[in-house]
């Protein structure tokens, strides 16, 4: 009877590759080092390949092993996706997690949230990407991301949004501003994010609703893709801008020397959302992720 690879073989091999040590990999897998070594030898014999080189207590994946490792990880990822889809108790945590976040949210959200997620995820791997709304929605819908943090209701019908927090808008200028400020108080030119960023759409809608001035006449054609570049342009005297309040609040050094004021009316801003595949909003783990996301978006004192 032909011997076949087992799922456990792949888990052990991946553990050796990630830890670079048989002893640490054995400890992580909850087995003895001799058992782990025997399992790897069995896998190498079945494949007819040397997967790992052992030198001075270190374990290094060979060139042939790297190809097998890549395939093994794909198989593991597929297995987890099946488990997540069919699990009745809504398990997402305790295994590799991938999520996405908008670039205009990540600077003040990701550092806090990653720490909270690490504690929830029992030290399993965590990957996150920054991308625009459309790309994040497609990735969550296609299950290449477990969830994403966005700022608009999803357009993809297979997705559902859990509300997290409302962000107010803040005017930023090199010149003093009244507090609070309105769109009329911004004498322009007004610098906005690059076309395609949802935050540009949020600010543009606020300007249109104010009906103070023509949007095209007020805004510039310069469109940076990051808040850091936006602030550097304001600081150089090229115009004023509007930013989300949490970014302004969390980046004291970046805002040094600039004048800021909350923008009125208070209802202008954006609603941050956690988006997941429809049906998963009832998962216990998704609710835990949403709670952690909300805490990560709070000011320091409130999040403690």
Nearest residue to 197 via CA among 99, 104, 101? 104
| 74 shares its domain with 154 | no
- What length is written for the chain? 304
- Residue closest to 105 by CA, chosen among 245, 303, 266: 245
- Within a domain: 79: yes
pLDDT tens for the 304 residues of the chain, in order: 446 788 888 888 888 888 888 888 888 777 888 888 999 998 999 888 899 998 877 888 999 888 888 888 888 767 765 655 554 455 567 677 889 999 888 888 988 899 888 888 776 788 888 988 888 998 888 878 889 999 888 888 888 999 998 888 888 888 888 888 888 788 778 888 877 677 877 887 777 777 655 555 565 566 666 788 888 888 888 888 888 888 888 878 888 888 888 888 877 788 899 999 887 777 788 888 899 999 998 876 344 4
CATH code for the domain of 221: 3.40.190.10
Q: Quick one: pLDDT at residue 243? A: 85
pTM: 0.62
Q: Where are the beta strands (DSSP E) in 188-268?
A: 190-191, 240-244, 259-262
The owner of tokens 């790897």 is 40
3-class SS of residue 220: coil
Same domain, 153 and 298: yes
Structural domains of the chain, count: 3
Helix (H, G, I), strand (E, B) or coil at 96: coil
Judgement on whether residues 175 and 237 belong to the same structural domain of the protein: yes
Which distant-in-sequence residues (6+ apart) come within 8 Å of 280 by Cβ? 90, 92, 160, 286
Q: What is the pLDDT of residue 1?
A: 42
Quick check: is 82 in a domain?
yes
Q: Are residues 211 and 246 in the same domain?
A: yes
Q: Answer yes or no: do 158 and 284 share one domain.
A: yes
Same domain? For 148 and 287 the reply is: yes
For residues 12 and 24, membership in a common domain is answered with yes
Which of these three, 86, 110, 127, is where a domain ends?
86
- pLDDT at residue 304, rounded to an integer: 45
Amino acid 293: pLDDT: 92
Do 15 and 44 share a domain, yes or no? yes
Residue (of 151, 152, 193) closest to 172 by Cα position: 193
Choose one of 64, 86, 108: the last residue of a domain: 86
CATH code at position 17: 1.10.10.10
Question: Rounded to an integer, what distance in angstroms lies between the CA atom of residue 139 and that of residue 64?
Answer: 30
**Domain membership flag for residue 92:** no
Listed residue (200, 183, 181) closest to 270, CA to CA: 200
Which of 28, 59, 86 is the last residue before a domain boundary?
A: 86
CA distances from 271 to 11, 100, 198 (A): 40, 17, 11
- pLDDT given at position 204: 79
Q: What is the DSSP letter of 281?
A: G
Range of the domain at 124: 97-164+272-303
In this structure, the answer to whether residues 158 and 279 fall within a common structural domain is yes
Is 91 within the bounds of a domain?
no
- Residue 27 resides in a domain: yes
The reply to whether 197 and 293 lie within a common domain is: no
- Sign of the dihedral through C-alpha 193, 194, 195, 198: negative
Q: Residue 107 domain-assigned? A: yes
Same domain, 142 and 260: no
Q: Is the same domain home to 123 and 151?
A: yes
Q: Is 174 part of a structural domain of the chain?
A: yes
Q: Which residues, in sequence order, are CB contacts of 190 under 8 Å at separation 6+?
A: 207, 218, 219, 220, 239, 240, 241, 242
Phi, psi at 163, each rounded to 5°: -65, 140
Count Cβ atoms below 10 Å from residue 123 Cβ, excluding itself. Answer: 9
Q: How many CB atoms lie within 10 A of CB 6?
A: 13
CB atoms near residue 129 (< 10 Å): 16
2 belongs to a structural domain:
no
Task: Decide: helix, strand or coil at residue 181.
Answer: strand
pLDDT at 237: 84
Exposure of 264 in the CB half-sphere (CA atoms within 13 A): 8
Q: What is the C-alpha to C-alpha distance for residues 91 and 141, in angstroms, rounded to an integer? A: 18
């Amino acid at each position: 009877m032909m011997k076949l690879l087992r799922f456990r073989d792949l888990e052990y091999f991946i553990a050796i590759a990630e830890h670079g040590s048989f002893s640490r990999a054995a400890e992580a897998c909850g087995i003895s080092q001799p058992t782990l070594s025997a399992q790897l030898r069995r896998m190498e014999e079945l494949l007819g390949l040397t997967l790992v080189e052992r030198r001075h207590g270190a374990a290094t994946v060979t060139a042939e092993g790297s190809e097998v490792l890549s395939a093994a990880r794909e198989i593991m990822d597929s297995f987890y996706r099946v488990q997540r889809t069919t699990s009745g108790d809504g398990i997402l945590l305790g295994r590799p997690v991938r999520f996405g976040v908008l670039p205009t949210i990540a600077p003040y959200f990701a550092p806090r949230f990653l720490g909270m997620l690490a504690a929830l995820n029992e030290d399993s791997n965590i990957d996150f990407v920054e991308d625009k709304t459309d790309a994040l929605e497609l990735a969550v819908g296609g299950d290449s991301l477990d969830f994403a943090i966005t700022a608009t209701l999803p357009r993809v019908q297979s997705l559902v949004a859990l509300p997290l927090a409302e962000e107010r808008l803040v005017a930023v200028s090199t010149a003093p501003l009244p507090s609070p400020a309105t769109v009329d108080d911004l004498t322009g030119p007004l610098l906005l994010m690059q076309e395609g960023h949802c935050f540009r759409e949020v600010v543009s809608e606020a300007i249109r609703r104010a009906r103070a001035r023509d949007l095209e006449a007020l805004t510039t054609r310069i469109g940076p893709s990051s808040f850091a570049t936006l602030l550097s342009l304001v600081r150089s005297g090229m115009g004023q801008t509007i930013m989300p309040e949490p970014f302004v609040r969390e980046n004291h050094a970046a805002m040094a020397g600039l004048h800021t004021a909350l923008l009125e009316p208070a209802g202008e801003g954006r609603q941050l959302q956690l988006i997941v595949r429809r049906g998963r909003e009832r998962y216990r783990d998704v609710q835990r992720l949403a709670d952690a996301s909300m805490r990560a978006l709070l000011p320091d004192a409130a999040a403690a």
